[in-house]
Structure 1
Amino acid sequence: MGDGDISATCDATSKEQLFIPIGLVADLWSARSRDEILQSFSKWVSVAIKADRCSIALPDGDNLVVKALNGDQAIPQGTAVPINGSVLGRVFANRTAEVVRDLAEQPFMDCRKLADAGMKCLIDVPLLAGDRCFGTLAVALRQDKDDLCKETAILTALAQCIATQLLVIEQMDHLVAMARTDALTGAGNRHALYERAAQVWQDWQQNSRPFSFLAMDVDHFKQINDTYGHDIGDTILCAFVRRVAARSRAGDQIIRTGGEEFGLLMHDTDLATATSRANRLCDAIGDSPFAIKGMELNITASFGLTQVLSSDAGFEDVMKRADMALYEAKAAGRDQVISLDQAELAA
């Protein structure tokens, strides 16, 4: 490869006797997050390569974002590097390692920034695991070498380790999400509810921030199943959750608590505010037909609402009170919101 050229790196013949620093193994063992894992790799890759800079960049839309960095700050951590018009982006898109010499002579923005910081050459390799490319691993050097095959081989091996770690993290996150999600509707399940409830309960106890819980029930759902079939019924439940989610705040937890029964946990929300939101939800469900497989079906729901009270011993007391309010809403004719507070309970 000539000076100033960008070309594919040498093949696997230089991968003999590659060693992983024991410090990297120790750091990975103690890492508790993806960011800590990436930072450990950037640190120890710099040691293994004797590089002046090591960065790991992951895709975000049309950019690669520097998620971990060790050494020179020419392109700081958190910087978004365009995939089009950069060496990092080309390595990511082509899934092929590249060595760049004479950075100052290159037209790419990332090369120019590195050259301005005194870097002479760049080695960039893709993070490959199976058919996935998770990003790139790059090192920059202030002193060029005639032969960078050994360094490229080390980077390629470590890049595969990083990609495998990212794949495992992704799969674990997916499993965790599945464990907290209702498979049919995409709403949370009771496990997700109690996890979130513990957080809002703690916030209530420590910071006096109220929360409200809205119990929801799709009206006459058995009749819907009997008339149109369970497939239509399932589709309605999914559409119901989407409509509720579209009108809920980020951080509010939508839960499927039973067959056609759902809950909405509203953090940092008193009863007056929650009542206004619940009434808007009731109108949003009942006022517009649901378009289901060529049909327009008029669906309503009943809502039981309450706010956490100082007399509550735990979150279960809040849920029970919301269920009582829901029962009253159904007994009063459905398609409405009934709320219960301390005064109503005393009466």
Structure 2
Amino acid sequence: MSSSINHESICLPITFVNELSKSKDLPETLDLISHWLPQIIDADRASVCLHNGQEDTLEVYALYGNKAIEANTILQINNTMVGRVFQSKTLEINNNLKESQDFDCKILHGGGLNSCMDVPLQKSGACFGTLNLGSLRENAYQTQHAVLLECIANWLANYLHAQMEITEQKKRAETDPLTKASNRRCLTIVGNELLSKWQSDKQPFAMIMMDIDNFKQFNDRYGHNVGDLVLVTFSKVINQVIRTYDHFFRVGGDEFVILVSGNVDVAGKLAERIRLEVAGMTVQYDIHSLHITISCGVTTAQLKDDNLESIYNRADQALYLSKKNGRDRTTIN
């Protein structure tokens, strides 16, 4: 389906507008946009790029059709057509990708595309991303297509920006500001989701509870700034060790939790790997080289568990035994 256009109005598919109004979050909205754009303006590829917080890069957040540049690809702003559109806040058409010197255009042409069109997404004069179309045909995009895509981008920009703000607020509400780990509120949400999957489909998951041995001594001897440095350094090590589908939380003070996809053996091995990595790390402060150890308690979801608290309490008991038996060890309960 294509949209009709004249100088005073455009016509969009009703289904697109209705689906957009019902989208639950930013990823779903971006996927909807990339899915519908080729049906509104003839294209073999559609994507949405957003500024990802890095000063000189954009990220492909949603993609439909030709995969010459995959979703989640990071694109440099310099030496790319999409980056130039982002910086200049001006729509561009390239109807002969074969001759282009732009890095992204070269990749698109290598993937079989011959034309592309990029338009900025702007809110209050600031560009936060782009809409991107590509075609297998040469000379695919003309002035009328540019007018239509620009109108769609201007219409979508307010909606997208609002959803990005909501996403960012939600992230802040669920993130510990010091360590950037997820917080206890997020633990409850994610933990209950995993428990529900365990109860319905028996998808196994485990919990690792950790705290830093004798952490109070760092605060008492060196001050709270050093204590904070220890927490931040420790958290960075955890994020380097855990898998992308595990979940890391700070639940308070020096107490942390990891929710692990897998059984207790997987979680126990992960806990030991973390413990050894932490024991080998050094926290530099002034002329001091500080070494820390951690104690871990591990448990897994069991048939008798009807709430997350029972799993949490069992992990806490295992952690208590690790500390009671000399610290710097892992106990499985």
One-letter amino acid matched to 1:177: K
Taking a change above 3 Å as real, the CA distance of residues 312 and 58 of structure 1, as seen in their structure-2 partners, is closer
Larger Rg: 1
1:287 and 2:287 equivalent? no
Deviations 1:270-295 (A, max 9, x none): 2x332232222222222332224553
Shift of 1:184: 1.1
Residue 319 of structure 1 deviates from its aligned partner by: 0.8
Within 5 Å, which residues of 2 pair with 1:74-85? 76-80=65-69
| CA apart distance, 1:225 | 0.7
1:166 match: secondary structure: helix
Letter of the 1:233 partner, please give it.
G
For residues 325 and 93 of structure 1, the distance between their equivalents in structure 2, rounded to whole angstroms, comes to 54
1:335 aligned to 2:328?
yes
- Counterpart in the other structure of 1:4: none
Paired AA for residue 131 in structure 2: T
CA contact (8 A) 1:95 1:133 kept: no
Using the alignment, how far apart are the partners of 1:284 and 1:39 within structure 2? 44
Supply the distance in 2 between the matched residues of 1:295 and 1:308 (Cα, whole angstroms).
42
Partner of 2:156: 162
Q: Which deviates the most, 34-43 or 252-261?
A: 34-43
Instruction: Give the Cα separation in 2 of the matches to 1:218 and 1:141.
Output: 57
Distance 1:97 1:235, change over 3 A: same
| Kept after mapping to 2: 8 A contact 1:43/1:54 | no
Q: 2:50 aligned with 1:57, yes or no?
A: no
Counterpart-to-counterpart distance in 2, 1:301 and 1:325: 13
Decide whether the 8 Å contact of 1:56 with 1:66 is kept in 2: no
Contact 2:248 2:256 in 1 (8 A): yes
1:319 to 2:312 alignment: yes
**Whole-angstrom distance in 2 between the partners of 1:288 and 1:86:** 40
Give the AA of the match of 1:43. Answer: Q
Q: Which residue of 2 aligns with 1:177?
A: 171
The offset of 1:107, in angstroms, is 2.5
Q: Is the 8 A contact 2:34 2:48 kept in 1?
A: no
CA distance in 1, matches of 2:227, 2:58: 42
Match in the other structure for 2:53: none
Question: TM-score w.r.t. structure 2 length?
Answer: 0.74
Alignment-mate amino acid for residue 58 of structure 1: V
1:18 corresponds to: 9
Of 224, 228, 251 in structure 2, the residue corresponding to residue 230 of structure 1 is 224
Shift of 1:89: 6.8
Residues 237-276 of structure 1 aligned to structure 2 (within 5 Å): 237-270=231-264, 272-276=265-269
1:198 aligns to 2:187 (yes or no): no
The residue number in structure 2 matching 1:5 is none
Q: 1:336 to 1:40 in 2, by over 3 A?
A: same
C-alpha distance 327-39 of structure 1, shift in aligned 2 (>3 A)? same
Query: Does the CA contact (< 8 Å) of 1:55 and 1:66 recur in 2?
Result: no
**Number of the residue aligned with 1:306:** 299
Please tell me the root mean square deviation across aligned C-alpha atoms, in Å.
3.7
Task: Give the secondary-structure state (helix, strand or coil) at the position aligned to 1:183.
Answer: coil
Q: Distance in 1 between matches of 2:139 and 2:204?
A: 62
**Contact 1:124–1:137 (8 Å) recurs in 2:** yes
**Aligned with 2:252: secondary structure?**
coil
What is the alpha-carbon distance in structure 1 between the residues aligned to residue 273 and residue 92 of structure 2? 57
Contact 1:216 1:263 in 2 (8 A): yes
**CA–CA distance in structure 2, aligned partners of residues 267 and 142 of structure 1:** 46
Shift of 1:255: 1.1
Q: Which amino acid aligns with 1:218?
A: I
Distance change (3 Å), C-alpha of 1:292 and 1:266: farther
Aligned to 1:134: 129
Which amino acid is 2:130 matched to? G
Question: Hey, what does 1:43 align to over in structure 2?
Answer: 39
Label 1:94 to 1:338 Cα distance change in 2 as closer, same or farther (>3 A). Answer: same
Alpha-carbon distance change, 251 to 66 in structure 1, aligned in 2, over 3 angstroms: closer
TM-score, normalised with respect to structure 1: 0.72
In the alignment of these two chains, the number of paired residues is: 304
Change over 3 Å in CA distance of 1:97–1:192 after alignment to 2: same
Q: Distance in 2 between matches of 1:276 and 1:335?
A: 15
* Partner Cα separation in structure 1 for residue 190 and residue 252 of structure 2: 18
**Structure 2: gaps spanning 5 or more residues:** 1-5, 51-55, 101-105
Aligned to 1:30: 22
- Residue 80 of structure 1 aligns to a residue whose secondary structure is coil
